[in-house]
Structure 1
């Protein structure tokens, strides 16, 4: 088992329990005096240097911006990323051990209250990203339109939404109009340093841990360069359709502006980024049919994407 081989590199005598499999494999590592979390990275997702770059930003956010992020636990030889041979003979895997942070995922029943402090937290992260001197060799991918929807070089990072369940001729027509409109609006919106930079890119509720001491941010595996407003779109993942979302967005904007400016022009494009993320997730569901949540959502998510697209296109075309 790769996880057990990785734990041995840390000099730990511990039990290993699988927590989650979606993109990476995540394990709870219990030793006599500590509990930690091991991430076994998927194959072929990150270029060389990308994982150490992620960990460098985690450290900097905690030390310089007061954002609660998990500390990286080095291996016995000091390595922050360990490469482990697969005992079953498969390819080597990169692994990282993190401290275990207390807290629970915020509830969907309390979105209005939770999104105002989330907006403020996101603004602190963005302010840090704008001013941070990234270390030499820093490399992370982009979450731009070609990465989302594909280009002449190939499909998007999460696949092609056209291959998702429930995409028939009517759905194809609606979602092609949506993609075209999103591409046009994002091009006009531009990639100035105030709008586009280093982002978490997956600030959904599952990656937040609320506790009496505050909110911790975990799982920076998708962090990269993108529009700052994409972090709001990602925060609304899987709840975009709820009737209270306009009020939830208002709360996020209030929180954000309590820390950093957000122009009226930026605010006007918020739903562009909500739909941008929604179409990305539609593609993700199509390319991850073996993941439980993707199988559960299936064609219903595509139908919901079309309904949201129609509403968006009625005001943003």
Structure 2
């Protein structure tokens, strides 16, 4: 059986999209371009005359149910309509549905798909003023959390629960962290000790409604678009119920080891406090969530090893996770002044 995104599978997905363009009132000559492979496969759809420019997310098999996807889109619409964020609006198909089911003509698995309007902006990079953008991201995240607490979820709303067990427990969503690419017995022992501390601190912190609710859960740089002074958020595919401040840990995904992360943390906290309260106890927990997220991503890379990005950084990222976990155990990781 071919891997989820083996080259022949990706070619089949592109053919599947080309054969179903009419679902979004697009003509046969529409340009179909692979934009990204990650949890899902993302394609750009541009009509020949340039009148329609969409981004199509074709879902990984078995990851999200149609009810989960519709729930995600409901929160996106609520955030947009309430003026909380700028994000890509989902596009209704010719049949009146937001979530489409694409069938393969080559014997491949059927896939759910959602189209979005393409919005302007580019992913911020380390050459940009990331402190400025993390200040803005902190405020934006706080507004999303305030909205999350107040929003009346529609009947049938369902999204994944991102608690400790769902991330790193025996039946976690993204596979066992012990399968991390290049992870050896010594590294496993370090991560086991780190996770024991993480679990203890999470249990003490709790999951009360002031700390745990509906969050984006993947506000990493790849899911941010900057244009002028505007910061946009995209890709709510992992949104679900988790700790609110987990959103910071997700925001520094894959760059947790960089020396400028403490500066980004301070900028994010300052921005957050412009829009909503954030206690010193909340701030003290941020390194805990960063380590948890880092170990989770180590598992994700292993379970998505066919993706070029995973192959590119896999073993080096795993080794870095072990180093950060040891620093966390030694009290030397992302130390925060008590006054923060």
2:185 is aligned to: 169
Q: Choose from 23, 26, 31 the match for 1:15.
A: 31
C-alpha contact 2:24 2:94 (8 A) present in aligned 1: yes
Report how far residue 213 of structure 1 moved: 5.6
Q: Secondary structure at the match of 1:112?
A: helix
Q: Secondary structure at the match of 2:253?
A: coil
Provide the aligned length of Structure 1 versus Structure 2.
314
What do the CA deviations read for 1:35-65 (whole angstroms, capped 9, x no partner)? 1111111110013400000000000011114
1:1-317 to 2 correspondences below 5 Å: 1-13=15-27, 14-31=30-47, 32=49, 33-109=51-127, 110-151=129-170, 154=171, 156-212=172-228, 214-315=230-331
Deviation at 1:303, TM superposition (A): 1.3
Q: Compute the displacement of 1:231 (Å).
A: 0.6
SS at 2:330 equivalent? helix
- 3-state SS of the aligned residue for 1:49? helix
- The alpha-carbon deviation at position 221 of structure 1 amounts to 0.6
Give yes or no for contact 2:224–2:232 (8 Å, CA) kept in 1.
Answer: yes
Q: Shift in Å at residue 91 of structure 1? A: 2.4
Determine the C-alpha separation between the residues in 1 that align with 2:62 and 2:177.
21
Q: Deviations over 1:54-87 (max 9, x none)?
A: 0000000111143011111111121111112111
CA distance in 1, matches of 2:72, 2:229: 24
Shift of 1:10: 1.6
Whether the 8 Å contact between 2:66 and 2:99 is mirrored in structure 1 is no
- Please list the CA deviations of residues 172-210 of structure 1 after superposition, one character each: whole Å capped at 9, or x if unmatched: 110110111111111111101111100111100000010
Change (3 A) 1:126 1:316: farther
Following superposition, the deviation at residue 316 of structure 1 comes to 8.9
Q: Deviations over 1:151-172 (max 9, x none)?
A: 3xx3x11111111122112111
**Runs of 4+, deviation exceeding 3 Å:** none
Contact 2:66–2:112 (CA<8 Å) still a contact in 1?
no
Distance 1:162 1:250 in 2: 32
Query: How many Å apart are 1:248 and its aligned residue?
Result: 1.0
User: What TM-score do you get using the length of structure 2 for normalisation?
Assistant: 0.90
Q: Distance in 1 between matches of 2:312 and 2:109?
A: 30
Gaps of 5+ in 2: 1-14, 334-340
CA deviations 1:253-282 (Å, max 9, x no partner) are 000000000011111101001111100001
* Alignment CA distance shift 1:218-1:236 (3 Å): same
Q: Residue deviations 1:290-316, cap 9 Å, x none?
A: 111111112211111111111111229
Partners of 2:17 and 2:38 in 1: CA distance: 16
